[in-house]
Amino acid sequence: MSEAAVAAEAPQASDQYVQSLARGLAVIRAFNAQHPVMTLTEVASRTGLTRATARRFLHTLVELGYVRTDGKTFALTAMVLQLGYAYLSGLSLPQLAQPHLEELSLKLGQSTSAAVLDGTDIVYVARVTTRRIMTIGITVGTRFPAYATSMGRVILAGLPQDKLDEYLAAADIKAITPRTVASREDLLRILDDVRRQGWCVLDQELELGLMSVAAPLKNTAGKVVAAVNVSLQAQHVEAQPDPQAYVASVRDELLATAAAISADISAKH
C-alpha cells in the first residue's frame, strides 16, 4: 500500500465521523509485509500525518499493547490480531473451506487458499501451506491487490457492473512484475474471459516464478462471495511433460473443490 493509498482510504467526514479513530487505524494499516518495521518518519509519510501526530498515535498504541518500539523503530504486536478475530470468528467461510482446502492440498501437493474482497484488495481467510514459494509469506489476513491475483479476478468477474465500476475507479492498477496486466482495458478483457470460463490462471503477474489457478465460491443465489486457489511454481509447471495438461488437471480438481465448498455455503445459509 502506497503512502497516498494509506492516506486516501479515509471516507468523507460526516457528523458521525471520529477523526482520531480513523487516524489511529491508518497508523495500524500503514504496517504490512513490505513495511513490518518503520521509523516515526516512515509512519508519518505513509499515513500523511505530521510527525507530531504520528508520534502521539504510535505511543498510544504502544501503551495499549498494539505496537512495540525499541526507541527508534516501531512494529505491530500479535495483539492486533484481536482486531480481526471478531470478524473471522463470525465468518463461516474459513471453517467451511479449511477441510476442503486441506484435502485438495494433500491431493495435489500444493498450497491452497481462500480469500474475500475487501476494498480494492483480496484478504486471505484460509490457507494450507506445503512450501513457501513467494518471497513474501502468505498467512490468514495477508492482502494483495485484487487485479493482480487469480482469486481477485474471479471475484471481480462476479461483481455487478456498478460494483465493478466502483472498484475500477478506486483501484491503483499498475505493473507489479513485467508480466502484470496494468491497464483497465486489458483487465476488463481478461475479466470477460474469466466470467465466461468460470476460472482464472495467473502467470507470474504478482511475483515472478509464481503461478496460481483460482475458482469462485458462490452462495445459494449464485452470487460470487469468495474464491479459492492453488499456488504453483512456474518452474515446476514448465518441467511437466505437458504443462498445459498439468494446469488443466489442477484446474479440474480446484473446480470440484470450489463446487463442494459452495454447496456447503448454500447448505449453511
**H/E/C letters for each residue in the chain?**
CCHHHHHHCCCCCCCCCCHHHHHHHHHHHHCCCCCCEEEHHHHHHHHCCCHHHHHHHHHHHHHHCCEEECCCEEEECHHHHHHHHHHHHCCHHHHHHHHHHHHHHHHHCCCEEEEEEECCEEEEEEEECCCCCCCCCCCCCCEEEHHHCHHHHHHHHCCCHHHHHHHHHHCCCCCCCCCCCCCHHHHHHHHHHHHHHCCEEEECCCCCCEEEEEEEEECCCCCEEEEEEEEEEHHHHHCCCCHHHHHHHHHHHHHHHHHHHHHHHHHHC
Instruction: Report percent pLDDT > 70 for the chain.
Output: 88
240: cell is 511437466
36: cell is 513490518
Model confidence at 2, in pLDDT bands (50, 70, 90)? very low
Query: Is residue 44 within 8 Å of residue 54, measured between CB atoms?
Result: yes
pLDDT of the residue at 258: 96
pLDDT at 170 over 50: yes
The pTM score is 0.69
Q: In this predicted model, which residue has the larger pLDDT, 28 or 138?
A: 28
Enumerate domains of the chain plus CATH numbers: 3-81 (1.10.10.10), 91-268 (3.30.450.40)
Model confidence at 199, in pLDDT bands (50, 70, 90)? very high
Residue pLDDT, tens place only, 50-80: 999 999 999 999 999 999 999 999 999 988 8
Closest CA to 116 of 90, 148, 142, 138: 142
pLDDT at 195 over 60: yes
Model confidence at 202, in pLDDT bands (50, 70, 90)? very high
Mean pLDDT to the nearest integer, 30-46:
93
List the single range of 80-84, 166-170, 193-197 with lowest mean pLDDT. Answer: 80-84
Mean pLDDT to the nearest integer, 222-236:
95
Mean pLDDT of the chain: 89
Query: Is residue 126 within 8 Å of residue 140, measured between CB atoms?
Result: yes
Count CA atoms within 13 Å of residue 215 on its CB side.
20
pLDDT at 135 over 50: yes
pLDDT of the residue at 54: 95
Mean pLDDT to the nearest integer, 133-150:
83
Instruction: Report percent pLDDT > 90 for the chain.
Output: 75
